[in-house]
Amino acid sequence: MTQVHTDFSCSSATSQPGLPPLKMTQKSVRRIAIWTHARSISTTLSQCLAGRDDTICFHEPFGVPYFAGAEDILVNPKFVELGQSYTKVKKMLEKNYEGKAVVAFKDMASYMYGKFNHIPQGFTYVFLIREPIRSIHSLAGVKNARNTNGKQWLTFLQWDNKGLYRLYQYVTEVLKQEPIIIDAYDLSHHPEKILKILCRKVDIPYTESMLTWRPRNMDGWHNHWKENKLREQLFRAALDSTCFRPLPDKDELMDASILSHEDKIVLEKSTHVYEILYKMRIKPTDCDEIFKSSKL
């Protein structure tokens, strides 16, 4: 097995000229929806956005109605709001917030299956993907760590990207929007370039301050997540982060023994979906092309 990548430095990459600043010519609020699947560094991206002074970023708001009525396996029952419906979450996300020019949220696409009519309007849709073997391996590690006490706390968390692809089809075919697709590896290894492209596409100014942020920012977290029994198991690394840390190289070996039979079946079925979306992702080299063209 190769040596694990340990370059966790938060120092900024070599400074390079930024893209021409974007002016907010319209008074309308910019809205960003980040749809994803488990173990995609999506919480790290939302921490990055939440660190902007002009932004409010909600953490998995549709998870509240999705888990409403769940057994005491996931949350403290007093923080499960039975009246928190998909409709209420949709209205919350479509609201304006004083002093905030950007309203963003990140959520699991799987929470929206059969609920596409509750997708909030006025948003630019971003799809964050990660190589299935890496995501499934990461989730398997979390589940195994929790299951050492003999209780199957996380067996209900089954990874898949089919929901993400269904949502992608809905956004492109019904809403007629071309979403922004970001690969987690690209984001973690080239955050400055990927963030510049993202900011340009959603028409918000990019600043170098987006490369670092304060840890444990849960301003946009519902108590359902703040008091979640598994919060630290699932989100500790992202909450403790202050910058993007490079994910392991794609050719780095992994311990496949922790993958269950079900994990291997899901992996086989999900790779094709990932490859379809991966071909349409924004690339770090796109930033160089945009900057070059802006100089012409």
Q: How confident is the model at residue 243 (pLDDT cuts 50, 70, 90)?
A: very high
Whole-angstrom Cα distance, residue 114 to residue 132?
Answer: 23
In a domain, 206, yes or no: yes
Whole-angstrom Cα distance, residue 285 to residue 294?
Answer: 14
In a domain, 89, yes or no: yes
Task: Answer whether residue 140 shows pLDDT above 80.
Answer: no
Instruction: Give 252-277 pLDDT, tens digit per residue.
Output: 767 777 777 777 887 888 899 999 99
- Total number of domains constituting the chain: 1
Q: What is the extent of the structural domain holding 197?
A: 30-295
Q: How confident is the model at residue 202 (pLDDT cuts 50, 70, 90)?
A: very high
Average pLDDT over residues 92-100: 95
CATH number for the domain spanning 289: value is 3.40.50
Lowest-pLDDT range of 89-103, 158-172, 253-267: 253-267
Instruction: Give 10-65 pLDDT, tens digit per residue.
Output: 433 333 334 344 444 335 899 999 999 988 999 999 999 999 999 999 999 998 88
Q: Which is nearest to 188 in space by CA: 39, 52, 290, 17?
A: 39
Residues 6+ apart with CB under 8 A from 13: 190, 191, 192
The torsion defined by the Cα of 177, 131, 12 and 18, in degrees rounded to 10, comes to -30
Task: Give the H or E element holding residue 184.
Answer: helix 184-189
Residue 87: other Cβ atoms inside 10 A: 12
In a domain, 155, yes or no: yes
Residue 65: other Cβ atoms inside 10 A: 23
Q: How confident is the model at residue 158 (pLDDT cuts 50, 70, 90)?
A: low
In a domain, 131, yes or no: yes
Enter the pTM of the model. 0.82
SS3 track for 220-251: CCCHHHHCCCCHHHHHHHHHHCCCCCCCCCCC
Average pLDDT over residues 199-218: 93
Higher pLDDT, 268 or 168: 168
In a domain, 18, yes or no: no
The answer to whether 120 and 33 are in contact (CB under 8 A) is yes
In a domain, 84, yes or no: yes
In a domain, 22, yes or no: no
pLDDT of residue 229: 65
Whole-angstrom Cα distance, residue 134 to residue 40?
Answer: 9
Higher pLDDT, 10 or 86: 86
In a domain, 19, yes or no: no
111-125, 151-165, 282-296 — most confident range? 111-125
Q: How confident is the model at residue 76 (pLDDT cuts 50, 70, 90)?
A: very low
Higher pLDDT, 197 or 66: 197
Q: Which is nearest to 247 in space by CA: 183, 182, 181, 189?
A: 189
